[in-house]
Structure 1
Amino acid sequence: MTDTGQLLTTALHALHLSLGARMVPFAGYDMPVQYAAGVLKEHLHTRAKAGLFDVSHMGQVIVKAASGAYADAAAALERLVPVDILGLKEGRQRYGFFTDDQGGILDDLMITNRGDHLFVVVNAACKAADVAHMQTHLSGCSVALLEDRALIALQGPAAEAVLASLAPDVAAMKFMDVRDVTLVGAACIVSRSGYSGEDGYMISVPATKAEELARALLAHPDCEAIGLGARDSLRLE
């Protein structure tokens, strides 16, 4: 939310409105809770085919050591998460969580080895706190929140076929693989992961190309836009 109290919007906001989404405030953003089909049908569609979710309100962060060495960035982050980051291979992603001084969980996150830096995705509601936490405690590292990228989740058993219609090589990706993929002419970071309990992909795309990519994915007959309501029910199930 801005200093004036107005809700923020993602790069897909106009698309949501054009698709008839019911919009609600969430983590300071104006987000789609459901579309015309309703939460139940969206839930079932994702379980049967493929659903497209706008998760651009989440935080995409680059952590890079001043030395330029991945090992230094990984060692620094390991002081904040009880996870093996030094042993994470390039092009692979791992789930982790920030803990406080007593071992309590502050938030969860996804961590990727990008060769000379870490690519970290944090939750929307804790985004500002998580970035501040890293900036405070990761000495010798830069922590940069990417404000110019959107994040799209493509989830469901047909997700591979839908995304492969635009980039056939993604079919060879394994769970938690991360690679650079060109989609609709844009340089994207694609991971084979998600929170729906189904196969799927998370796609980091330049904000200026997000709507074009979303429309290209939605043009596939098996892909439909899914709101936050079904996202939550899928995660709960």
Structure 2
Amino acid sequence: MKAIITALLLLTLAGCSSGLRIDRSHTSVNQDGRIQFVVLHYTNAPLERSLDLLTHGEVSSHYLIGDSPATVYQLVDESRRAWHAGDSQWDGRTWLNSSSIGIEIVNPGFIDTPTGRVWQPYTEAQIEALIALLKDIVKRNNIQPRYIIGHSDIAPARKLDPGPLFPWKRLADAGLGVWPDARAVAQQQARFSVNPPSISWYQQQLARFGYAIEQTGVYDVSTRHVLAAFQMRFRPQRFDGVADAQTAAMLQVLNSR
């Protein structure tokens, strides 16, 4: 009998010791959501191959938007980290897998032909699905419009997606991004045509906008990559990475908004 009483007492004490009590009556005002960015990609593969890669491969994303039909697949819960960004940086934050939601869109990207590179368009249904999805994500996570970015923004030396045919202005018009005012750009372009800025100025303005760029004061390979990424997003007709008055004007207007 004594042994039974001792065993029951030990079980009771064990239960009490494991009963963690947490006081949640005090809440800090110094906090925000874990999700700060949305990163947009193209898959560079058809739907079935994309699903296979994103569910059984080394990369993953929270969402995938198909092409025919434009079905939205959730592959990773938003509370968990997906492996879509890789070595990345934006606005001083690094390794954005931990602080972003990744959205992949089924699209082949580009095809290299004897006459040059041909980029492939997104379907209307895909863009409509993306806008609806983004509005939901942004509202729930309180994400700033300037933090809806492309893979080429956060890794300009190695990534091109979502490419020059991605409709960034359409997203901005829906409140899901930023876009420079055309009239203000024209005014600034006239000024920069007469008095072009230095490479140091470009590097400073690109960093201020969010890009990771070393402040060398030299028009080096890294600067060319970042300029090309910026141009591909805001001037997709020509993204050669050459510093010019129109690029300077767009940077000035965007950073003055």
TM-score normalised to the size of structure 1? 0.26
Whichever of the two has the greater Rg, that structure is 2
Whichever structure has more helix as a proportion of its residues is 2
Whichever structure has more strand as a proportion of its residues is 1
Higher relative contact order (CA 8 A, sep 6+): 1
TM-score normalised to the size of structure 2? 0.25
